[in-house]
Amino acid sequence: MTGIDFDCHACAATHLGADGTRDRPWPVLSFAVPDPVLRLAPHELRDVEITEDLCLIERPEGAEQYVRVSMHVPIRDDPERRMEYAPWVSLAEDDLVDILDHLGDDGYRTVYPGRLASALPGYETAGPVPVLVHSRGYLRPLIGPDPTNESPLGRDFLGGITREEAELRIRAFLLR
C-alpha cells in the first residue's frame, strides 16, 4: 500500500500519504460517542450528558459512565509504527470519580477495570471486551488488555497486527 490520504479533524489539514511513521502518522481512529448512546431512542437522548472525554447516561436503574481513552496497537516487526484509537470505555462510578479527582496529578498512577464501549474496526463482533484502564495524569487514560480475557483484541495488543491490516482498518474507518 502507498499510504493514506485523510482530512484531519484535529488540525483541519489534509494529510497525504500517511504511512504510520513519526513524520507521516496515520489518523487516530476516534469515536464521537460511546456505542450505547447510538442505540438510544430520540427521547432518551435528553438523559445523556457528554463532553469530549466523558459521557453519562442517566437510566432508571442507575447511571452509566464512560470515558474516552487512548489505545495503541503495535505493528508487527516495525516498532516505529502503531495504530492508534480513541475509543470509549465503561467504568464503575467510583473509578470515574477517582480519575477525575486525580486529573492532572502526574505522579498518580493506577489501573481500573473497564469494558470497551466502541466497536473497533476488526473487532466489531467481540462484544464488550474487558480492558484495563491506566491513569496518566494530564493525558487521556490508556487501555491495555485484561489478562483474564483471551480475545482477538487482547491478542493484537500483545502480538501486534501487520501494517497491511492496520491500513485496511483505517481505510474502512475513514469510509464510514
Task: Report which of 131, 149, 11 is spatially closest to residue 71, judged by C-alpha positions.
Answer: 131
pLDDT value for 37: 94
Mean pLDDT of the chain: 87
pLDDT value for 61: 87
> What CA–CA distance (Å, rounded) separates 18 from 15?
7
SS3 of 130, please? Answer: strand
Cβ neighbours, 10 Å, residue 55: 21
Where on the phi/psi map is residue 12: left (φ > 0), alpha (ψ -120 to 50), or beta? Answer: left
Q: Which residue has the higher pLDDT, 16 or 93?
A: 93
Q: Hey, what's the cell of 94?
A: 467510583
Residue with grid cell 474502512, as numbered in its chain: 172
What tens digit of pLDDT does each residue of 85-124 get? Answer: 999 999 999 999 998 888 888 888 999 999 999 988 777 6
Return the H-helix or E-strand segment holding 4.
strand 4-7
pLDDT value for 3: 80
